[in-house]
Structure 1
Amino acid sequence: MASFRKRGSKWEYRIVYTDRESRKQREKMKGGFRTKKEAQIAANEAETKIHYYGFSENGNEPVEKYFKEWLEIYKKPYVKPITYSVQERNVRLNIIPRWGKYRLKDITRSEYQKWINELRGHYSEGTVRRIHSIMSTALHDAVHEFKIIRENPLVKIKIPKDIEKSNKVSFFTKQQLDDFLSNTKPVKNAKYKLSIQYYVLFNLLARTGMRIGEALALTWDDLNYEFGTLTINKTLVYPINSKPYISTPKSKSSNREIKLDGYMIKLIKRHKINQKEVYLKYENYKKTTDNIIFHQHDGRWLRTNVVREYFKKVCKRAELPILSPHALRHTHAVHLLEAGANIKYVSERLGHASVKVTADTYLHVTKKIEDDALTLYEKYVEN
């Protein structure tokens, strides 16, 4: 509650409050008001800010306290858990160790730019951009949402780019894909030799362009055998040192229904029968209680890191470049485009936000298609 007193011909207010983090008593004072009424109005505004935001004004808020409150109260309830975990980790491991003892108003553009340059010596361009995005967004909120600093000193900070960065995406040629898939089947001494799960999973990724998280989240209810379609409306998130959970897809356009080709329909039906055979063959291979299409031997969600490791083993076995499961998504897109598929169809099948994303990602392929089309046109008009 505020108290007021007259000093000479002017009035001032004094507000005593408890800091939410330290639980210590703080006070805020301001004078120079012509009347008590003016002081009361100003005190009411100040109390509202204190109780609503809990931040000190004029940039005096310690960076560590501000970021902890900002994350917990203003970010955690409104972003996906995986997004929050990435933000929290970057704040805890990078931002607070460097800036935690500063006050918000003490952060300068030149010192911050120097720090960003140093970060590029330890992290990739993408990682540094993520760290900077968190820091800049937090200070933007400090200016425009909480009004505790006058301006954001981090506007137009430059992130050093990779000196040599290839825009080409990694994918398998048709022959490489055949070699890869033929080496995916269980080897002689495999623990669960009867299972064709990975063969089916990698075929599905290569023939649909699904993201790995989308494929691992699939249940048998997502399949429609009558129409030969697959509904994609969720993704599996498997954070490091944390429990997996089902989340919404990457973007709104990622919610989609895609058509399966005849071979894939037969293969996934074979997988369903094979699952039952595996349950009978191996006593410790448990049925899933969640109707999951691809799962671990204990019935739980298949771990993304386990899939990646097995993928690498297959690449080595097939004597192919060591890629990641995401390369199968690129492979599907490239093969569709090379086969003459409409780029809008490819974009919708992949669940991209726009055709432009597809065109930019597969520029080397679309450029070849344009060149081939122009060659055909030239031949046509010359005859």
Structure 2
Amino acid sequence: MTKAKGRNGWHAGTIEQLPSGRYRWRVRVTYPDGTKERQAGTVRTKTEAQQAITKALQEAVAGQRPVTKSLTVGEMVREHMAAMRPTWAQRTYLNNLYLFEHYILPGLADKKAAGIQPKDLRAHFEKLGESGLGVSGQKQVRSLLSGAYKRAVGDGVLRENPTAYARPVATRQAAKVKAFTPDEAGRFFASALEDRWALPLAFMAVTGLRIGEAVALTWEDVGTDRAGLPVVMVNKTRSEFQGQPYDGKPKTAAGVRAVPLSTDAAAIVEDMRRRVTVEADAHGKAVGPLSYVFPSPLTGEAMAHDSLRNIMERTCRRAGLPLLSPHKLRHTFASMNLALGLPVGDVSAVMGHASTAVTMNFYQTSYEVGRRAVALNLSPAKAEAPTARTPSTLGKRSRKAGPRRATKS
């Protein structure tokens, strides 16, 4: 056994050659707060042992404690999720739980968090892509891992966050259709109006509501604004996780909002008011303030997301349109309003986005060309060319005003 030469001479730590030929080093360090600790390790050469002792002393002076080598990725992510659960919306927690169980547990959970390298994560993302998980899903996995690593680094448990150097890479593929064109939107709207089951979709097309916001609407949410014009108040959403529905608040504070109704949208609401009264009588029920605006005709209860997705597919096929998801109606709504030249701030506010950047970056589509003006009419009979309104005229449009042609979370 020999003493190692540290910054202050040979007295700093000891080095011992093991029967295997490797070298074990030991050193006692003192941290700025006065606490002391013994550190040790094994390396290949005596020089590496001397360097390890020097590094341990330098890090102790800087207050850097050694990383926890026993912590696994699974334990790290579980601790992060437990800490974040009180601040996460239920939907966010359930989505992250699903990501953890399906895309982190199988390949990473038992690996040591301190030993994960960026190349390991890149290889993991490639496997996820080969298994069918898209880039968007891979980014959500990375976001969960990144949050867990950042917490561990902040707590001093780990030194580095490998997710900072490993990102999913999109493969070249045909661009996906993100929204209907103006002509397609009009055809979809006309087709949806012919089907009682598709009326919620028609309403989403002319209001930009999310699917969960539309099915959660109750009659107490229907009213008028200060000018006496029709609006719906969005203050809740109905989500589903693995087929089980649950109610919650909108995604962000900006999601709580009053959404103005165009003539088309208001007509759908009035049509539903008549329909649900008849349907409720058939079920032996009464329509009250807490009754759903768009209930299932069969049960009178809220419609399931999967049901609306199937109805969306049926409506698209009947109209001879590309098969899009219900959420693409929201993309269509944003893109069409922006194409009309309406202020992005007004469009963003009506859609409930926390930032106008979300509206511009994710919801504006290729045919790009106040707030009360952000209310689409898609009725085929209203084919007059739209005119953009200036902010000073927002909210002053008459119920009998000329129609506006509509253009394309």
Shift of residue 283, structure 1, vs aligned partner: 4.3
Which residue of structure 2 lines up, in the alignment, with residue 63 of structure 1? 73
Distance change (3 Å), C-alpha of 1:326 and 1:90: closer
Deviation at 1:284, TM superposition (A): 7.9
Aligned residue in 2 for 1:27: none
Summarize deviations over 1:4-39 as a string: whole Å, max 9, x none: xxxxxxxxxxxxxxxxxxxxxxxxxx99589xx966
Give the one of 111, 115, 122 matched to 1:106: 115
Q: Which residue of structure 1 aligns with residue 251 of structure 2?
A: 250
Amino acid at match of 2:69: G
Structure 1 match to 2:140: 130
Match for residue 124 of structure 2 among 115, 131, 151: 115
Q: Which residue of 1 is the match for residue 271 of structure 2?
A: 270
Equivalent residue for 1:79?
A: 88
**CA contact under 8 A between 2:212 and 2:239: conserved in structure 1?**
yes
Matched with 1:94 is: 103
| 227, 241, 244: which one aligns with 2:229 | 227
Backbone CA RMSD of aligned residues: 3.2
Aligned length: 310
Question: Following TM superposition, by how much is the alpha carbon of 1:156 offset from its aligned partner in structure 2, in angstroms?
Answer: 1.9
Structure 2 match to 1:190:
none
Please identify which structure carries the higher helix content. Answer: 1
1:322 corresponds to which letter in structure 2?
Answer: L
Contact 1:90/1:131, CA 8 A, preserved across alignment: yes
Contact 1:168 1:364 in 2 (8 A): no
Q: Residue in 2 aligned with 1:8?
A: none
- 2:130 is paired with a residue whose SS is coil
Q: Please point out which of 152, 157, 168 is paired with 2:166.
A: 157
Whichever residue aligns with residue 65 of structure 1, its letter is E
Q: 1:97 to 1:308 in 2, by over 3 A?
A: same
Could you tell me whether the CA contact under 8 Å between 1:143 and 1:150 is conserved in 2?
yes
User: Conserved in 1, the CA contact under 8 Å of 2:279 and 2:300?
Assistant: no
Distance 1:181 1:286, change over 3 A: farther
Q: Percent identity?
A: 22
- Change in 2 beyond 3 A, CA 1:140/1:274: same
Counterparts of 1:297-376 in structure 2, within 5 Å, are 297-360=298-361, 361-362=363-364, 364-366=366-368, 368=369
SS of the equivalent of 1:364 reads coil
Q: Distance in 1 between matches of 2:111 and 2:230?
A: 59
TM-score, normalising length from structure 2? Answer: 0.67
The alpha-carbon distance between structure 1 residues 165 and 143, as it changes in their structure 2 partners (threshold 3 A), is farther
Cα deviations by residue, 1:243-271 (Å, 9 ceiling, x for unpaired): x2222212232222122123432331221
| CA spacing shift, 1:31–1:291, aligned 2, 3 Å | farther
The whole-number CA distance in structure 1 between the counterparts of 2:84 and 2:340 is 45
SS in 1 for 2:192: coil
2:19 equivalent in structure 1: none
Q: TM-score, normalised by structure 1?
A: 0.71
- 1:162-203 alpha-carbon deviations (Å, 9 max, x no partner): 3136376321423x334333333567xxxxxxxx3532x223
Deviation at 1:324, TM superposition (A): 1.6
Q: Which amino acid aligns with 1:88?
A: L
Q: Any idea what SS the aligned residue of 2:80 has? A: helix
After superposition, the Cα gap between the structure-2 partners of 1:59 and 1:173, relative to the gap in structure 1 and judged at 3 Å, is same
Answer yes or no: is the 8 Å Cα contact 1:197–1:271 preserved in 2: no
Question: Shift of the alpha carbon at 1:224?
Answer: 1.0
* Change in 2 beyond 3 A, CA 1:268/1:140: same
Query: Are the counterparts in 2 of residues 229 and 258 from structure 1 also a CA contact under 8 Å?
Result: yes
In structure 1, the gaps of 5 or more residues are 1-29, 43-55, 188-195, 369-383
